[in-house]
Amino acid sequence: MEITSDQIIISAVLGIALLLFAWGRWRYDLVAMFCLLVSVLLGVVPEKEAFSGFGHPAVVTVAAVLIISQGLQNAGVVALISEQIRRFSLGPFGLLASLTIVVTVLSAFMNNVGALALMLPITMVAAREYDIPPARLLMPLAFGSILGGLTTLIGTPPNIIISAYRAEVTGSPYAMFDFAPVGIPVALLGVLFIVLIGWRLLPRARMLKNASLKLFELNTYLTEIQVGERCDCIGKRLSELPMFATEMLELVGVAKPMGYARNVSDSYVVREGDIFIIRADPTELKPLLDNHHFELLNSATHIYEEPDKHSVILMEGVIAQDSPLVGRDIRYLRRLSGRSVALVGLARKGMRVVRRLRRIVFITGDVLLLQGHEETIDQQFTRLGLLPLAQRPLELDRSRKVGIALSVFIAAIVLAITNLVALPVAFILAVMVYVLSGIIRVREIYEQIDWAVIILLAAMIPVGHALETTETTQWLANSMLAWLGTDSPLLVLTLILIITMLLSSVVNNAATALVMAPIGAAAAETMKVSIDPFLMVIAVGASCAFLTPVGHQSNTLVMGPGGYQFGDYWRMGLPLEMIIIVLTIPLVIWIWPL
């Protein structure tokens, strides 16, 4: 089969896209849209099909799942689960097992990133209460959320994409629980490995840190305090200030109002206006401010107005991958929040940060300590793209609607399973009921949709379709089969699973599914075997991104709070992926025969 110019073009565009995805310099939604526009301009994607992806059932379903996840949170479903966990007197092993199992089950019926976001604050509080290093709990929690997504159609975007692709090819999508016969055994064995063995493979250094000091590694927060005119330290040498000799307070440097931080000796004489850059537990800040009259440099003084009406709190949050703060600084945070919150401290992936806060550019995984009104800080966290790491105030009027939320959700699933309505329609109906019943507000509908993922899917679907219309997928499949031979579908199936897993570790899992599905289908057609086992292994492989923190949002979200390094993930992820390969292939062959 001779390669054509269109095949060269679409292959080049896709290759560049994969490199840009892996590089991570630009957001994946921008990369996807760039690839779509280039494909249109070069003629491999017709103009009339350029934006057809926005109406694709997979895109609508993913958006609806994200909204429903927020509705379940608002209704108090997760709070109820948290209360039930706390009723039991669990040891460290029992806590790890219960949290991992709960997030795995939740991920089967809601977006897995959403399930992790719901369980993250519960886990951080539990780590502090049980005096367990968060690193022992958080990576198992992230991996459990990924495993749970394998079990149902709505658990993860790759399953939705694969189902929609099968509908295009065969005329029939996968049903809600068609993924379960393979996904449930894989998830069960994966959770068993994580709980019994996996967490022990993490570096010992991550396990030696006290949970009450870890970030909630509170002693790694970089905070700035200023010497006010009433400060009793003015005129004294640093050696005369015992508060900076404790383990809970570390003086990193001293700066002038518009200057850089610099190291000073113990003989330095404190002057009014000096800015102390300290590393401290927030619980140590109050005595410092009250007893010695220091001032929080970045605090918003106006939030103390009307003390009878407002409760000022400190709340910790981790910067999500799609947060508008990524690549920005404190000035942008102030503008975006309307100065209703103030940045008090910052921690970064367990690493020391010694620069002034106003000179730091935020990155994904940074943990921010923010000060604001209890009544409005939740809204600001949503606007800033932060996931909370501390307990949030519960809205009692919503917590009484657990029954309604669950009933509506189950009804939507039943409607889809019985084929009375299509899955996207069933979920949109559920969203409407949530809005009408007050479980979710109209503004939250738009706030909770991960627009970066929506753009990614909508842009890549026409590009993926171009792979087929130009017969590029057939050419790629033929090239692979020419190397492996067509007499061993089992070998080809295994190789496709491994390639998909590796690709998913550096590329967004939805993009991986969109790219690999046509290739798997073409390979099956060439070998004249069933398409289903190939689509199933691609669904599994696209979601199994356990080797790096960038392959899946769940991995990224726990990197900062857990204090993990880039190389920590493969330690538990590589043996887990090997176990999944060994289990998945025979299961797929048995349940979906070639």
- Choose between 219 and 407: higher pLDDT: 407
Under the banding of pLDDT at 50, 70 and 90, the label for residue 368 is: confident
Highest mean pLDDT: which range of 94-108, 208-222, 444-458, 560-574: 94-108
**Mean model confidence pLDDT for the chain:** 79
Q: Can you spell out the DSSP letters for 283-304?
A: HHHHHHHHHH-EEETT--GGGG
**Contact in structure between 215 and 137 (CB atoms under 8 Å):** no
d(CA 462, CA 51): 8
The answer, yes or no, to whether residue 405 has pLDDT greater than 90, is no
Q: What is the DSSP string of 363-388?
A: -TT-EEEEEEETTTHHHHHHHHTEEE
Q: State the pLDDT at residue 464.
A: 75
Q: For the segment 26-75, what is each residue's pLDDT rounded down to a tens digit?
A: 877 888 898 889 999 998 889 888 888 888 887 887 788 778 877 877 77
Judge if pTM exceeds 0.85: no
In angstroms, rounded to a whole number, what is the distance separating the alpha carbons of residues 558 and 506?
17
Report the range of poorest mean pLDDT among 207-221, 231-245, 382-396, 465-479. 207-221
What pLDDT was estimated at residue 432? 93
pLDDT confidence of residue 259: 65
What is the distance between the terminal CA atoms of the chain, rounded to a whole angstrom? 25
Q: Is 396:330 a contact under the CB 8 Å cutoff?
A: no
Structural domains in the chain, CATH included, are 61-209+397-451 (no CATH), 218-296 (3.30.70.1450), 302-386 (3.30.70.1450)
